Structure 1
């Protein structure tokens, strides 16, 4: 499988299971309605595991532009490959979000809460404060990327030879179960302020679909906040790379 196809499929599965668990908890008349935050965080941990497990052999299982940026900054991925990864991730996230809507379409129809409908696609701060939310997203992503570097085999990070023809660099040398558990932990410990996007594609792709899809009774897509779960994770990823390089001195 081509790495870009793997990133598309992996990110699609990430969103199908991740946004799917949110829809199951917050939409009206589902069997999982009001199941709570633990179910959502556990569902997202499983979603990361599934998406990464299905793509790791072919692409290194980034399924997150922040991970791809970190690998590019660390010299583990060429520019052309990085751009292809990110494009595939955004496309996969959009298709995954559309599938969640189609799956829960009847429940979207009977749900009156427009904020809950938006929450099935994208994140929002519990207390509106964009710069505090930016800090939370950056720190949450830092807490994702640095452990990935530390848990990955040293040869992958320190001795990898980036090649446009061999871009399978990332989580391939690392079991994906620890990454799923890591995301579960981030959700439990750091997710309560912003909903822990920690992945630009996970937020922006579905937010675009919320704006485009004919969802009954929907609100605006909160574009004033949309920059936070995109730039915050990128900033956190860059800081994680710097921290890892400093630790290697």
Structure 2
């Protein structure tokens, strides 16, 4: 695989991942969406199918890592650090593009949701509503773009992301890799998609299961930049957890793989 193939593959694949994954959250959350209220099970399966679609789409180009934690885990397991920054760049840029596409696809619903008086009344910290001096942490649609904890306990939130990502990357390393060991196989893409569903159902409750630094950071940047009315804050005080936690989980999974499986 050339560096250009890796960058293009990761960009396209991660954009599709976020478009479909963020799209299912938007569908469930936003006012005037036909799927509003469909619930957590719809979100978890939506994200799983998003992974499967993206992996099969770009696996032949880049190996379909689509996640810096996966890239880090594979690099450690194989002791091959070539192109790691190309993977990271494609993933971050792709995640930003995917998040912007979600906004375009749901443009009217975002406007309806963020100008709805019932929604605004439940968000006293949204800028301009009650307290102009308040420093809003998470706006009413931030969850469509990135993750956040239900209970803000730093060590628990970090541990949850580490545990979930360890499961994901260990599954990739033990069940998902192709013959070269550098990307997902055809069967591996399906297995990993169902692992993502399982993680969402079992471990997604506390933090929303980022388990992917690019998936969280790229869309969070887009949320901060988009001209959304009454959007509130992007919760940058929390943003390091879904970056550091998954990277630590990816490294831990690689260590477990080397000790137990090689």
TM more than 0.5 = yes
Corresponding residue of 2:230: 217
Determine whether 1:176 maps to 2:189: yes
Distance 1:155 1:101, change over 3 A: closer
* Residue of structure 2 in register with 1:55 after alignment: 58
Q: Deviations along 1:109-151, whole A, 9 cap, x unmatched?
A: 1114464411110000011112210000000000101111111
Structure number, greater radius of gyration? 2
Q: Deviations over 1:18-56 (max 9, x none)?
A: 000000000111000011000000100000001111111
Shift of 1:205: 0.1
Assess if the C-alpha contact under 8 Å between 1:156 and 1:173 holds in 2. no
After TM superposition, the runs of 4+ consecutive aligned structure 1 residues lying more than 4 A away are: 153-157
Residue-by-residue CA offset, 1:53-108 (whole Å, 9 max, x unaligned): 111111111000100111111236433x1100100000000000001011111111
Which position in structure 2 is the counterpart of 1:187? Answer: 200
Q: How many equivalent pairs are there?
A: 237
Partner Cα distance (1:186, 1:111) in 2: 29
- Whether the 8 Å contact between 1:26 and 1:116 is mirrored in structure 2 is no
Superposition TM-score, scaled by structure 2 size: 0.86
Separation in 1, partners of 2:176, 2:107: 40
The CA deviation at 1:215 is 0.8
Q: Determine if contact 1:121/1:207 at 8 Å carries over to the other structure.
A: yes
Across the aligned residues of Structure 1 and Structure 2, the Cα RMSD in angstroms comes to 1.6
Structure 2, unaligned runs of 5 or more:
124-138
**Structure 1: 5+ residue runs without aligned partners?**
158-168
Q: What is the aligned partner in structure 2 of residue 45 from structure 1?
A: 48
- SS of equivalent residue, structure 1 residue 120: helix
Counterpart in the other structure of 1:83: 85
Verify: 1:104 aligned to 2:128, yes or no: no
CA contact (8 A) 1:61 1:172 kept: no
